[in-house]
């Protein structure tokens, strides 16, 4: 672990020493450029086919991609998603893009990694309402699938190998953006308004939670830190509003949620676990009031919104034609 960190800094140092002509990366920024994850491409390809495979749901009607569509920022742009038999979900669907960089999965962090996350969706009666036994039973009849698993995993088609393949695919869903190029030293990658927006993002304190490589996704935070969000909200409270309390059953975890990544945030409306903000501007207003506990001029908020749009990344699947 330590050696990895050391290596990272050493390589950074080496880069700085050996390439003086190269653009200098911005140092000591609280947001760090995206790094592609090491991915087994064959397993990822198998994972992609599983991600799009409706046989993972009980009645073969829903696939992962049904709600995590590549073309719409890895979400379905709906307040809640629709599971099998037309059932409505209880919480806004987070994006699958860059999910690999989140420290835990789901709004309440009940899954520690992507492998774990897939199982929660599969077993959720409102989502896939299935189980691995049933899925393996179905997939066993698909000789191409079985032989692909046999090729890539010593144990062949199994619960761990299904989880692993899906997670491997999701680790390939990293979306570097213009802002990353800016962080890497390309001063012209973002315009002045966007730069100003970034400055404001930091100075207003958004950065306190939305930091790191994923601009969020590495901590929990209580929703309504400076003002009582749920008291002000017009809609009745739901189980989902309890957030991490549902996992830990500690009072201190009530209304605590994972801070979502802001990468591709411009694509993933509506916002928040309850989809209460339909637009990015509304979301920024809510954050200012309830998380920062302060006000800001309209122009500053607009600039911040412009900056946030520069976090929209690129991935080959984002432009792929819908099947």
Partner 1 sequence: MNDLLLSTNEVNVLSSGGSRLTKGAALVKQLLPWLLLVVTLMVMLSWLAYKSAGRNLGAEHALQSQLSELKETDAFLDVGIYDVRSNLDADYDLLTVTYEALVSQTKAIQAQSKAMGLKNDSMTKLIEQTEIKGSLLDKFKAGHALYRNSLKYLPDSVSNVRALAVENNAPKKVDDLARSILALSLDYSITGNADKAAELRTVAANLSSIDGLDEELDDARRELVAHAYSVVFQKSAETQQFSDFAAIQFRAKVNDIANEFQQQFDIKTRLEQLYRQALIAFSAVLLVVLVFLAFRLLQSFRLINDANANLEKNVAKRTIDLNQALQQLQTQQSQIIQQEKMASLGQMVAGVAHEINTPLGYLSSGLQSAQASVPLFGQLSQAVSQMITTLTSENASQEDVERDISIAHGLATIIQEEDIVEEIDQLLKNGLFGVEQISEIVANLKDFSRLDSKSSVLYNTTDCIESTLKIATNVIKKVTIQKRLSEVPQSEGFPSQINQVLLNLITNACHATDNRDNGIVSITQTFDEQAKAIKIDIADNGTGIPRDIVGKIFDPFFTTKKVGQGTGLGLHISRQIIEAHKGKISVSSIEGKGTTFSIFLPVV
Residues labelled catalytic: 127
What is the helix (H) or strand (E) element at residue 256, kind and residue range? strand 256-258
221 binds partner 1 (CB under 8 A): yes
Rounded least distance, CB 223 to partner 1, Å: 11
Rounded least distance, CB 243 to partner 1, Å: 12
> What's the token pair of residue 271?
């916002």
225 binds partner 1 (CB under 8 A): yes
Rounded least distance, CB 216 to partner 1, Å: 10
According to CB under 8 A, which one of 18, 20, 28, 192 is a site residue for partner 1?
A: 28
- Determine the interface stretch with partner 1 among 79-87, 132-140, 204-212, 230-238 (rule: CB under 8 A): 204-212
253 to 282, contacts with partner 1 by CB under 8 A? 256
Q: How far is CA 19 from the centre of its chain?
A: 33
292 binds partner 1 (CB under 8 A): yes
Rounded least distance, CB 8 to partner 1, Å: 10
Rounded least distance, CB 29 to partner 1, Å: 8
DSSP string covering 14-74: HHHHH-TTSPPPPPS-SS----PPP--HHHHHHHHHHHT-GGGSTTS---HHHHS-GGGTT
Rounded least distance, CB 52 to partner 1, Å: 29
Q: What are φ and ψ of residue 247, in 5° steps?
A: -95, -50
243 binds partner 1 (CB under 8 A): no
- Determine the interface stretch with partner 1 among 135-143, 184-192, 230-238, 289-297 (rule: CB under 8 A): 289-297
Spatial neighbors of 154 by CB under 8 A, at least 6 apart, are none
Select from 186, 207, 188, 208 the least CA-distant residue to 198: 207
Q: If 0-12 CB within 10 Å is exposed, 13-18 middle and 19+ buried, where does residue 79 land?
A: middle
> What's the token pair of residue 257?
């949620």
User: Is the Cβ–Cβ distance between 115 and 123 less than 8 Å?
Assistant: no
What x/- string results for residues 90 through 129 when contact with partner 1 is judged by CB under 8 A?
Answer: -------------x--------------------------
| C-beta of 8 vs 123, nearer to partner 1 | 8
202 binds partner 1 (CB under 8 A): yes
> What's the token pair of residue 53?
């495979």
In whole angstroms, give the CA distance from residue 98 to residue 213: 10
Spatial neighbors of 7 by CB under 8 A, at least 6 apart, are none
211 binds partner 1 (CB under 8 A): yes
208 binds partner 1 (CB under 8 A): yes
| Chain residues in the site for partner 1 (CB under 8 A) | 1-2, 5, 28, 30-32, 103, 202, 205, 207-209, 211-213, 218-222, 225-227, 248, 252, 256, 292-295
């Amino acid at each position: 672990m330590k050696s990895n960190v050391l290596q990272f800094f050493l390589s950074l140092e080496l880069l700085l020493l050996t390439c003086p002509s190269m653009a200098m990366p911005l140092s000591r920024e609280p947001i760090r450029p995206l790094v592609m994850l090491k991915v087994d491409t064959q397993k990822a390809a198998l994972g992609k086919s599983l991600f799009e495979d409706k046989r993972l749901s009980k009645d073969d009607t829903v696939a992962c991609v049904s709600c995590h569509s590549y073309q719409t920022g890895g979400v379905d742009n709906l307040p809640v998603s629709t599971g099998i038999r037309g059932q409505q979900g209880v919480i806004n669907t987070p994006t699958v893009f860059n999910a690999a960089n989140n420290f835990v999965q789901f709004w309440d962090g009940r899954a520690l990694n992507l492998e774990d996350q897939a199982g929660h969706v599969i077993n959720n009666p409102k989502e896939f309402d299935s189980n691995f036994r049933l899925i393996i039973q179905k997939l066993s009849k698909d000789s191409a699938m079985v032989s692909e698993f046999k090729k890539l995993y010593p144990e062949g088609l199994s619960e761990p190998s299904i989880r692993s393949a899906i997670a491997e695919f999701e680790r390939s869903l990293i979306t570097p953006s213009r802002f990353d190029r800016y962080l890497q030293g390309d001063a012209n990658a973002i315009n002045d308004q966007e730069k100003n927006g970034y400055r404001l993002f930091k100075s207003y304190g958004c950065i306190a939670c939305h930091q790191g490589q994923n601009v969020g996704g590495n901590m929990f935070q209580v929703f309504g830190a400076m003002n009582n969000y749920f008291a002000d909200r017009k809609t009745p409270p739901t189980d989902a509003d309890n957030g991490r309390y549902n996992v830990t059953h500690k009072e201190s975890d009530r209304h605590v949620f994972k801070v979502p990544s802001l990468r591709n945030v411009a694509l993933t409306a509506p916002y928040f676990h309850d989809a209460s903000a339909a637009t990015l501007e509304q979301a920024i207003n809510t954050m200012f009031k309830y998380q920062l506990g302060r006000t800001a001029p309209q122009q500053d908020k607009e600039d911040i919104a412009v900056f946030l749009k520069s976090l929209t990344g690129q991935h080959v699947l984002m432009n792929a034609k819908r099947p």
